[in-house]
């Protein structure tokens, strides 16, 4: 935002006063001084209007960043669109903190087939925190070379690096980086562009930090599915929503289904192959289950090797089909024991409101059905209320 300097206008005014006080008969000089005042006033008026527009646009940008909520994907998408549209950046990488066990303590970006990764607590991060302001790759080539980043930046065609530094009292942490490619029109990034990047960086560092904390509080660190605490909140909301829908439509809308899922003989995996292998099996099964569900379904780790899936607007008969697909998909995973002994799951299916009108009743019905699957030989689906 350009600074409005009133010094020139004051000089013109002082000059005009001197001429008037001296009774100058040089109307041309006086007129020139007055014209200078008028011209400077118009220029300052334009600058004030421009600064107001810039301020308004910055406020709107802040609102838009905050409106993306706590979703990393939405934040990244908004930032890429913003920088591509406003600065004409041909490439935008947003590096952020890893949220899964494999990338804990790392800053990473995966975009356009380019993978960039660095230690969030290492020497490079410390240097970037000290730099803090956006800079061009060309202006700090020696330092980038020293930190083994120059080749990576050149390979990714990065022209500008924007450290995303969050300040908390006297502590400053690197929450990510923005990496910008060349401009579409071939022009260089100017001071106004760098000022804009710096303003965006302050807001983005806070937004990424909040999204990271939210993710860690609602997702299981090992399996990357939701936690039981998050499940409890969503299940209570879905029961209330489904109850209202059924009341409005006199029972004509589909209800809510719950799947209780357990990995068969999981203790044997830990006992015979070790806990690291057990963790790998948990992750693989969780991700396979997630792949088999819709975006608006909720999958949570319920405890140990148990998972729960919530299927909104899904009658129980369709939930059984989903459960069978999940069972078959997990059975097809590569087993640490080999082909002769596949990893399998047992499932219990219950529906709202027929099998329970409260959260506790619904989960209990699904759990009892899961128990029947276990008792009946495992690797099968049992439906609550199914006497067959």
At 51-95, the pLDDT tens digits run: 554 666 666 766 777 766 678 788 888 888 888 888 899 988 888
Say what the pLDDT of residue 18 is: 64
Beta bridge partners of 310: 258, 298
Residues 116 and 212 in one domain: yes
In a domain, 302, yes or no: yes
For residue 107, what are the CA distances in angstroms to 149, 163, 235? 13, 11, 33
CB atoms < 10 A from the CB of 316, how many? 23
Total-model pTM: 0.74
Which residues span the domain enclosing 110? 71-217
In a domain, 101, yes or no: yes
Place of tokens 């209800």: 255
Say what the pLDDT of residue 42 is: 65
The H helix count followed by the E strand count for the chain is 12, 11
Say what the pLDDT of residue 248 is: 86
pLDDT winner (highest mean) among 96-100, 195-199, 368-372: 368-372
In a domain, 141, yes or no: yes
Q: Specify the number of domains making up the chain.
A: 3
What CATH number is attached to the domain comprising 255? Answer: 3.30.70.270
Residues 17 and 117 in one domain: no
In a domain, 346, yes or no: yes
Show the tokens assigned to 87: 């600065």
At 112-170, the pLDDT tens digits run: 556 677 777 788 888 999 999 999 999 999 999 998 889 988 988 899 999 999 988 77
Distance CA 114, CA 155 (A): 9
Share of the chain above pLDDT 90, in %: 49
Residues 87 and 38 in one domain: no
In a domain, 193, yes or no: yes
Confidence of residue 101 (pLDDT cuts 50, 70, 90): low
In this model, does residue 103 exceed pLDDT 70? no
In this model, does residue 171 exceed pLDDT 70? yes
Residues 180 and 290 in one domain: no
Residues 322 and 369 in one domain: yes
Say what the pLDDT of residue 102 is: 54
Residues 26 and 102 in one domain: no
Confidence of residue 324 (pLDDT cuts 50, 70, 90): very high
At 35-51, the pLDDT tens digits run: 666 666 666 666 565 55
Please give the mean pLDDT across all residues of the chain.
84
Confidence of residue 253 (pLDDT cuts 50, 70, 90): confident
Residues with Cβ within 8 Å of 155's Cβ and at least 6 positions away in sequence, in order, are: 114
* Catalytic site positions: 305
Residues 136 and 238 in one domain: no
Residues 31 and 57 in one domain: yes
What CATH number is attached to the domain comprising 118? Answer: 3.30.450.40
Say what the pLDDT of residue 16 is: 61
Distance CA 55, CA 65 (A): 15
Q: What is the DSSP string of 127-168?
A: HHHHH-S-EEGGGGHHHHHHTT-HHHHHHTT--EEEEEEEEE
Distance CA 14, CA 20 (A): 10
Residues 192 and 113 in one domain: yes
């Amino acid at each position: 935002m350009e600074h409005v300097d009133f010094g020139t206008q004051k000089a013109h005014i002082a000059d005009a006063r001197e001429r008037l006080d001296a009774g100058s008969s040089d109307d041309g000089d006086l007129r020139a001084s007055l014209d200078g005042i008028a011209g400077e006033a118009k220029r300052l008026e334009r600058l004030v209007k421009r600064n107001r527009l810039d301020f308004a646009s910055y406020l709107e940008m802040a609102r838009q960043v905050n409106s993306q909520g706590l979703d990393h994907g939405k934040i990244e998408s908004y930032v890429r669109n913003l920088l591509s549209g406003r600065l004409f950046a041909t490439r935008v990488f947003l590096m952020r903190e890893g949220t899964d066990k494999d990338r804990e303590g790392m800053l990473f970006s995966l975009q356009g087939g380019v993978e960039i990764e660095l230690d969030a607590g290492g020497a490079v991060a410390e240097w970037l925190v000290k730099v803090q302001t956006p800079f061009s790759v060309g202006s700090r080539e020696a330092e980038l070379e020293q930190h083994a980043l120059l080749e990576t930046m050149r390979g990714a065609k990065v022209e500008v690096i924007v450290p995303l530094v969050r300040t908390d009292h006297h502590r400053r942490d690197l929450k990510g980086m923005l990496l910008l490619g060349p401009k579409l029109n071939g022009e260089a990034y100017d001071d106004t562009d760098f000022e804009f990047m710096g303003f965006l960086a302050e807001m983005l560092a806070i937004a990424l930090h909040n999204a990271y904390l939210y993710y860690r509080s609602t997702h299981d660190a090992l399996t990357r599915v939701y936690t039981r605490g998050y499940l409890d909140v969503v299940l209570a909301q879905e029961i209330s929503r489904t109850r209202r829908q059924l009341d409005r439509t006199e029972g004509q809308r589909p209800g809510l289904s719950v799947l209780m899922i357990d990995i068969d003989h999981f203790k044997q995996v830990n006992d015979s192959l070790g806990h690291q292998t057990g963790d790998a099996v948990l992750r693989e099964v969780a991700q396979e289950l997630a792949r088999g569900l819709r975006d608006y379904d909720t999958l949570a780790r319920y405890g140990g090797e148990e998972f729960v899936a919530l299927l909104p607007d899904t009658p129980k008969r369709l939930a059984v089909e989903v459960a069978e697909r999940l069972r078959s998909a997990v059975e097809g995973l590569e087993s640490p024991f080999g082909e002769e002994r596949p990893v399998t799951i047992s499932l219990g299916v219950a529906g709202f409101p027929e099998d329970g009108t409260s959260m506790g009743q619904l989960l209990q019905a699904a759990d009892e059905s899961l128990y029947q699957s276990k008792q009946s030989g495992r690797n099968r689906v049992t439906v609550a209320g199914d006497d067959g």
